[in-house]
Structure 1
Amino acid sequence: MGADYFADPLGGLTDEEWDEAAEGHFYSSAFWLRLVALEPGATSGGAHVQLSAGGRAAVPIAATEPDGMSNPHLRWHDLLAERGLPSPAPGGVLVSQRRGYLAHLLTSSGADRAEAAAALLDTVRSLPDPQGPSGAPSGSARVAMYLTTDDVLALRAAGVRALPVALTADASLEIPPGGWEQWLETMGSGHRRQRVRSEVRKFEQAGYRVEHRVLRDCYADVGRLAARTEQRYGIAGSADAYIEAFRKHAELAGDRAEVLLCSLDGEPAVGCCLYVRDGDTVYLRAVGFEYEQLRGAAEYFNLAYYIPARMPGVRRLHAGIATPGGKALRGADLKPLWLLDLTPDSPLEAHDAEIRAHNAAFAQRLTDDSPAVAKALSSEEWQALCAKGDWPAPGSAVRQA
């Protein structure tokens, strides 16, 4: 095949070459891909191709172990089984990046998206089965995860026959030019505005000290607190392992990895929010709390949303995939993210009815959560999700982004 797409996290390209295609997509940037490649459990790479009309197309990839990814959010076999759907083998090539749970097909400015999607699909399907971290062949599956609707449509137009499976909702909050006060006005409901003001007031009266730090100066606190939060939600992991992981991240990220550290009365920190700022956008990366020491003052929403939203120059918070209801109540938009099986002769190809039923039920559960969530979902992407025959047939014209 020529290129070794697993030579490094960028498939052998320089940072500048990769970022020419990734511009505007932080979670697909060279910086982020090199950062997440530090994590165990897969071998990171990058598939890329020169386009006939000029420019380049690229997508992050990762070679898994034969039994799948160690990260539960990337174990496609388990996620499909939970939805009552068939799955390709658990081992193979993940078409996505490994943290952040948002992936894009990347193209140079002005490149033809239809050609790019077809070229990348051919490249990914033509890969020989790579080796996972243990040295064993990863497997034959080729599965894209956390793709946007536009990229799913592009790959369907390129010939993917399996329907996309709804995975989750991606949340982002837009901060208008008028800043905090204008943002509150966008929430519409006076009750919702009052809720936010009350949560800010409680936090300010709780006696917390909040410091702005960089990760390299407080990675031990972040690791300890993040481990506590993961354990609270059933994800096993020792504090020492988290601390070491954040130490490595801090070493590579430098000043770009920033932390809001929350403490009481000179005691060790009881809460943190790790984020990366890219241009006018804050990407919320991790939170952690010593829950038994908190004072019931909306600590999560203050550290993760209200304080970042008031930072000078911030116009957008990317809040990710968890707790869509709470985010919608605070003004977030929710967009679907999809699993699309690129494996030739995918076992999902014969299950269109079941996939459509799952997707519709998934959207309905979100809508039933609250009126705020229903409003946040009111876009053509979610309307298409629930329709019976809306997905274009493989090989039909692609919608341009």
Structure 2
Amino acid sequence: MNHLSVQRAADPTSLPGWDQLGANASFYACARWLAYADVASGASSEYLVTRANDLTIAALSIHRLDGGFGAEYNPAIAIPDACLSSNAVLIGGYRGYRSSVLKASRADVSAAVTRTIDEGVRDAEWWWPHLTFHDASFLQRAFAAEGRDTSLNFIGVDHSVRSRASFESHVTHLPSKQRRTNARREHSIARELGIRVKRLRLAECWDSLVPLLAGVEAKYGNNPELARLRRLVRLQAEHLDDIAMVFGCEDTEGRLIGFSLCYRGANELALRIVGFDYDHLRGGEYSLVAIYEPLVYAAEHGIRNVHLGIDSDEAKVRRGSVLEPLWAVSSHGESAHAASVARARSIAAGLPEREAAALLGAVESALGYRQ
């Protein structure tokens, strides 16, 4: 291993090489998104890169829980059976429910990653949620090589879809005749009703999105406070407009009745939020703005993947998404295998049979689980 040096900053956009390491990583690991999240939340974060011979070979974000993060980022709530402290240092971001290990492709990078973590947490208990199994197992191997134990727990699933050249191309790749028939019917009904989707610039339409976002928040039992939502969307327009794309759904009267807000990463289009005017929906609007139109846009721009995020599992898989099990790695606590499998079974209960079996098989295989 060459001589390593660690650089720190309060803003990841000021650190060299961050996004080069993240070229194939989640959009939610990119410097622009992380910097925006800190502005929006006022969180106390620290960003580190480790360099060897003037090359950045590892990058890391550190966040200290101060009540400003959601329950999914509090280990005592998200994975209670792991017995982690709610004050454990959070690694890897706190908005987006997806994280990535940012590292160079070189044989000696494991030691650089563990050193970066050690420098960031300063002997504190830590946890790193929302990782793919590939990244989670890399972390475990890296620490095991130094004789250090870590814990692994299944935390949930998210969704992505491979972009195709057209809607019809996407449909032909759906795994069953029934799903193909349903998708075509859903798409054709929306078109027959005169529903149109326009591509809009976030900076020019953000204020009109707020009431529709409030409609979704209210439907799912969240607080639809307009001032809070207006600030959230306005800040995204101010900080991320140049990488944003809004898919706006209009009815025959030109009324905006639905939208999705997506962000362009190096290799993925990330669906961030949706909003709807439920009093004026007629059918098919969700799938148009949240899945089908983003897929076509991604294909047009050479983007390989559309990341759909967490929740609405059945609706997403029936329209072509692929489930990705997500994991948490931690320095302390327990690998609560039985609880992880129980969590997977709870999610699988709401999935079609094919995807339910695949999820359970992936989780049990990853844990080497035997009942």
Common topology (TM > 0.5)? yes
Any stretches of 5+ residues in structure 2 without a counterpart?
Answer: none
- 1:303-355 per-residue CA deviation (whole Å, 9 max, x = no partner) reads 1111122232453211111122222222222111112222xxx2x23xx4xx1
Note if contact 1:124-1:142 (Cα within 8 Å) is conserved in structure 2: no
Deviating beyond 6 angstroms after TM superposition, the runs of 4 or more aligned structure 1 residues are none
Distance 1:50 1:242, change over 3 A: same
Partner residue, 2:103: 107
Give the counterpart of 1:374 among 343, 347, 356. Answer: 356
Determine whether 1:87 maps to 2:107.
no
Question: Cα offset for 1:191?
Answer: 0.7
State TM-score, norm by structure 1.
0.80
Structure-to-structure mapping, 1:265-284, within 5 angstroms: 265-266=252-253, 268-279=255-266, 281-284=268-271
- 1:63-91 per-residue CA deviation (whole Å, 9 max, x = no partner) reads 221xx34323322222223xx44221x23
Partner residue, 1:28: 29
Note if contact 1:46-1:58 (Cα within 8 Å) is conserved in structure 2: yes
Question: Cα offset for 1:35?
Answer: 2.0
Structure-to-structure mapping, 1:88-237, within 5 angstroms: 88=85, 90-110=86-106, 112-126=108-122, 140-157=124-141, 158-159=143-144, 161-176=149-164, 179-237=166-224
Give the counterpart of 1:303 among 284, 289, 297. Answer: 289
Any stretches of 5+ residues in structure 1 without a counterpart?
Answer: 128-139, 390-401
Determine whether 1:331 maps to 2:320.
yes
Identity %: 25
Task: In structure 2, give the amino acid aligned to 1:373.
Answer: E
User: Distance between the aligned counterparts of 1:279 and 1:95, measured in 2?
Assistant: 22
Question: Cα offset for 1:162?
Answer: 4.1
Partner residue, 1:72: 71
Partner residue, 1:359: 340
Higher helix share: 2
User: Distance between the aligned counterparts of 1:267 and 1:372, measured in 2?
Assistant: 40
Partner residue, 1:137: none
Question: Over aligned residue pairs, what C-alpha RMSD do you find?
Answer: 2.8
For the residue of structure 2 that corresponds to 1:169, the secondary structure is strand
Partner residue, 2:41: 40
- 1:189-232 per-residue CA deviation (whole Å, 9 max, x = no partner) reads 11110010011011112232322101111111222222221232
- 1:351-373 per-residue CA deviation (whole Å, 9 max, x = no partner) reads x4xx1111212223333421242
Note if contact 1:325-1:373 (Cα within 8 Å) is conserved in structure 2: no
The number of equivalent residue pairs is 358
Note if contact 1:54-1:111 (Cα within 8 Å) is conserved in structure 2: no
Question: Cα offset for 1:53?
Answer: 11
- 1:22-72 per-residue CA deviation (whole Å, 9 max, x = no partner) reads 22222211222222222215223213223589642112222221xx34323
